[in-house]
Amino acid sequence: MMRMIAAEFLKLKRSRMPMWSGLIVLVAAGLSLAVLPVLADPKTQVEIAKSGGVFAKAVAAGAYQPTWTNYLRVGLQGMSGSWGILTFGLVTAYIFGREYKEGAAKTMLTLPIRREYAIVAKLVVLAVWVLALGILSVALTMAATAILGVGGFSWSAVLGNVDDTLQATALLYCTLPLVAWFAVRGRGYLQPMLFSLGVMMVGNALVATPASPFVPWNMPLHLVGASWYPVSPSPLVPLSWVVAVAVFVVGAAALMWQIDHADSPA
Amino acid sequence: MLRALKAEFQKLKRAGMPLWTALIVLVAPVVTVGMVSLADNATVVVTWGDFMRYGPQLVASWYGAVLFGLVAAYLFGREHGEGTEKQMFTLPLRREYFFVAKMMVLAIWVAGLLLLSVAAQAAYATLLGLPGASWASVAECVTAELKVAVLIYATLPWVALVAMIGKGYVAPLVYSAITAALGLGLAEAGWGRWFPWSMPLSVTGVALFPSVPMPTLVAWSWALIALVFVSGTAAAVTYVDRADNTQ
């Protein structure tokens, strides 16, 4: 098992994907903050408040003011509700789909080693990769906020954001075995990417609904809120984590079944 | 040329991709449903026309660049992925024909998704029972979506080039994701008029309810986007002409 994990990491040795995925995070995390100065404009806030309800409440609560807490939160919201789902989906599609696209599936599927080992090893690599991207996102958001000269820095806000980032990353990770299943089923990258794009939109549609804390693709947004609706952060309930783990287990089981029954392509 | 075009359409005969991309477009309006459901009904009445205005918004800021980029990646990357590149490069036909044929298929595909998105947006608005349905709102939505689609389509020759150089789907997908993020960020920063990948957001405003208006496009913006299309096409054609058959 350890040799399989080492092999999976070695496969990334000359791969540019870790660098490219880091670049996506750099662009997305850094530039997503550009929205706050726009929203901080009093004229914009008046327009937003006109819709009443949660919009007026968000303006009154100072959710659009350029502060460290708001910047960190907006950065994390971008990961939780948009680019995180797509980028983590792309990384998953790459790890599981490249065996087919690079002609290595026939080797992987015919080695005298349990196929489940390859899946577990890939899931371990995926966990390390998405965790690194999550941490990178926090670091880049902090750097961008500091460069913009935003006031009100506090370590408690940073630590709170790191905690939320870890939770959001864990929740998104729980959904990735299903993306991997699409990659193995579709023998490539397109199906898992389309699936990721679809669930990103469905997840966003369920914000502030009773289903919000129980739909895995919406849970990160439920936890950290979404400035573009706006929706305030809300705590998850224990059942949310049970559902997230159940989705992971079902996805992993489907993935194992798929790989166990897969034929070696020519 | 026409035979190359016909061949490109025939390649899609048993492909699942048109169906999958259509499914994404059909699902997309649920984002608008979620968004308008948050508005306080006592303060603001969301009309059928308001809902329709969010159709182009969805394409511009949520899925257009990534989905259309994925379609371009599929059309231009599958020749290598499915092992048909060697036939394409060795047929006694001008290689430009294939590029032009693929770009035409891409244009029709994007236009089809666009029409479907208008229909889906209208269907959701009707199902929600929103007041004020009118053909004028549909026309406004179609006009805005056309502008958004043209602006995104003009950037797709570069995705095609990346797909051909990268010989597959990963490179164009990464490229599309980066340009989508860059486009959104720079539009929010107010550069939508001058950065081609942000221009669709100048048409629709940045995704919020209500949308935050962005600087409108000027004649130079259209000249810039035309330059992006022409340079991307020229680069892709040059690459295709000089590419070696490596399979």
The confidence score (pLDDT) of residue A264 equals: 65
Helix (H) or strand (E) holding B10: helix B2-10
Say how many C-beta atoms besides its own lie within 10 A of residue B87's C-beta: 11
- Identify the DSSP state of B197: G
CA B51 → CA B58, B122, B142, B184, distances in Å? 11, 8, 13, 21
- ipTM for the predicted complex comes to 0.81
Smallest CA–CA separation between A172 and chain B, in Å?
Answer: 18
Test B38 with A39 for CB contact under 8 angstroms: no
Among A249-258, B140-149, B181-190, which is the least confidently predicted range?
B181-190
B210 contacts in chain A (CB < 8 Å): 47-48, 50-51
Domain that holds residue A62: 2-260
pTM as predicted: 0.87
CA–CA separation, B192 vs A34, rounded Å? 12
The confidence score (pLDDT) of residue B121 equals: 93
Spatial CA neighbour of A147 closest among A66, A84, A227: A66
Smallest CA–CA separation between B234 and chain A, in Å?
Answer: 26
Test A54 with B38 for CB contact under 8 angstroms: yes
Share of chain B residues as helix, strand and coil, in percent rounded to the nearest 5: 75, 0, 25
Higher pLDDT among residues B162 and B188, named by residue: B162
Asked if residue A266 belongs to a domain, the reply is: no
Spatial CA neighbour of A218 closest among A207, A226, A229, A210: A207
Q: Which of residues 6-65 of A touch B (CB under 8 A)?
A: 17, 20-21, 23-24, 27-28, 30-35, 37-39, 44, 47-48, 50-56
Residues in chain A predicted with pLDDT less than 50, given as ranges, are none
The confidence score (pLDDT) of residue B209 equals: 52
Asked if residue A46 belongs to a domain, the reply is: yes
Asked if residue A151 belongs to a domain, the reply is: yes
Cis amide bond preceding A235, omega within 30: no
Instruction: Tell me what the mean pLDDT of segment B108-133 comes to.
Output: 92
Q: Where are the domains of chain B?
A: 2-242
A25 contacts in chain B (CB < 8 Å): none
Q: Report yes or no: B14 and B103 within 8 Å, Cβ to Cβ.
A: no
The confidence score (pLDDT) of residue B210 equals: 55
Mean pLDDT of chain B: 86
Could you read off the pLDDT of B204-222 as tens digits, one per residue? 877 655 566 677 888 898 9
Could you read off the pLDDT of B72-96 as tens digits, one per residue? 999 998 887 777 777 777 777 788 8
> Which residue matches tokens 């629709």?
B204
Asked if residue A265 belongs to a domain, the reply is: no
Q: Which of residues 94-123 of B touch A (CB under 8 A)?
A: none
> Which residue matches tokens 């699409």?
A182
CB within 8 Å of A224: residues ≥ 6 apart: A73, A76, A77, A80, A164, A168, A233
The confidence score (pLDDT) of residue A176 equals: 96
Q: Residue B42 — pLDDT band, cuts 50, 70, 90?
A: low
- Residue A231 phi, psi (nearest 5): -130, 135
Task: Quote the number of domains for chain A.
Answer: 1
Q: Report yes or no: A207 and A225 within 8 Å, Cβ to Cβ.
A: no
Could you read off the pLDDT of B151-175 as tens digits, one per residue? 999 999 999 999 989 888 889 988 9
List own/partner pairs for A49-52 with CB under 8 A and 24 or more apart.
A50/B43, A50/B44, A50/B210, A51/B39, A51/B40, A51/B43, A51/B44, A51/B209, A51/B210, A52/B39, A52/B40, A52/B42, A52/B43, A52/B44
The confidence score (pLDDT) of residue A32 equals: 67
> Which residue matches tokens 């048909």?
B84
Q: Residue B40 — pLDDT band, cuts 50, 70, 90?
A: low
Smallest CA–CA separation between A124 and chain B, in Å?
Answer: 21
